[in-house]
Amino acid sequence: MAVTPFGTRLATAMAAHGPLCVGIDPHASLLDAWGLSDDAEGLRRFSLTVMEAVAGRVAAVKPQAAFFERHGSRGVAVLEEIVAAGRETGTLVIVDAKRGDIGSTMGAYAEAFLRDGSSLAGDALTVSPYLGFGSLTPAVDLALSSGRGLFVLCLTSNTEGHEVQHARTTRGDGGTGASVAAVMAAHAAALNADATPMGSIGLVVGATVGDAAGRTGTDLTAVNGPLLAPGVGAQGAGADELREVFGAARGQVLASSSRGVLRAGPDVAALRAAAGAAAHEAAAALS
């Protein structure tokens, strides 16, 4: 039976619920603010409360794998519960694990996070291409064959990111070529060619990177895939920032908000209201 591509499912979810992804980032400080213990049980109560509040009401959720892995096998089991809850409620789950490696090791990561039947396989995975975009081939192949998606790191908001992402490649004649970020975006665009309404290989582009796309010659509009934009809300990105970063590609943007929603907890109604407000603000900012 043919599977519906991730890009199609995401476009449908964004149209129904707005262009918002709620990050599930259970920092120790957030657990404390919620009156929860910094252990696997506190993590579980936090995560399932967020899912109760927003599942079926936002386009996607994005659990950050590191905050689950820090609690060992019991923490990873909570991540598996989030993936299962997303499946049960029809909520897209983007596992934010930023995996990247070569050969059989990348293949093993792909099996863990993208294979049908894996308890960690959500609907999409964040990946790092900085061992060369071709190193992602096992993940690309498995994502596309299973109807899942990838979000490839492209222009990130950390201050060190420009050292790699803004660097220029060399041409065959030894001259200066395109920026690394532009090359990564071009690879994604090639994989998304002719997909409608959009492809399944997206990019991660920070909502606070300013005019970085223009300065690096990165054509975000041509990607024809989703643009995951961390930094909306509590980290300072509003309508003006989104317009500067994404320009004509704003319709492809899935805005990610974590603290801006999570700090409303632990009350379910308050979390739900915060997510609704964030979705409305993101839609207005990206219109």
255: three-class secondary structure by DSSP: strand
Q: Where are the domains of the chain?
A: 6-280
C-alpha distances in angstroms, 200 versus 40, 144, 196, 226? 33, 7, 10, 7
CA atoms within 13 A on the CB side of 49: 22
**pLDDT score, position 236:** 65
Residue 176 has pLDDT above 80, yes or no: no
Separation of alpha carbons 196 and 209, rounded Å: 28
Which of 27, 87, 98, 259 is the catalytic position? 98
User: What are the b/e assignments for 221-250, b being 16+ CB within 10 Å?
Assistant: bebbbbbbbbbbbebebeeebbebbbeebb
Residue 153 has φ and ψ, to the nearest 5°, of: -60, 130
pLDDT for 179-211, tens place per residue? 999 999 999 999 999 999 999 999 999 999 999
The pLDDT assigned to 230 comes to 92
Q: Is the pLDDT of residue 237 over 80?
A: no
Helices (H), 90-211: 103-114, 137-146, 162-165, 180-191
Active site residue 62: no
State the Cα–Cα distance between residues 71 and 36, nearest whole angstrom.
Answer: 14
Residue 175 pLDDT exceeds 70? no
Q: Are 282 and 257 in contact (CB under 8 A)?
A: yes
- Reply yes or no on whether the pLDDT at 235 is more than 60: no
Tokens 């409303």, residue?
264
Residue 144 predicted with pLDDT over 90:
yes
What CATH superfamily classification does 6-280 receive?
Answer: Aldolase class I (3.20.20.70)
232 forms bridges with which residues in the sheet? 237
Distance CA 242, CA 182 (A): 19
Can you give the pTM of this predicted structure?
0.96
Secondary structure (3-state) at 250: helix
Query: What is the per-residue pLDDT across 67-114, written as a single tens digit (0 to 9) for each?
Result: 999 999 999 999 999 999 999 999 999 999 999 999 999 999 999 999
- Averaged pLDDT of the chain: 95
- The yes-or-no verdict on residue 238 having pLDDT over 70 is yes
Question: In residues, how long is the chain?
Answer: 287
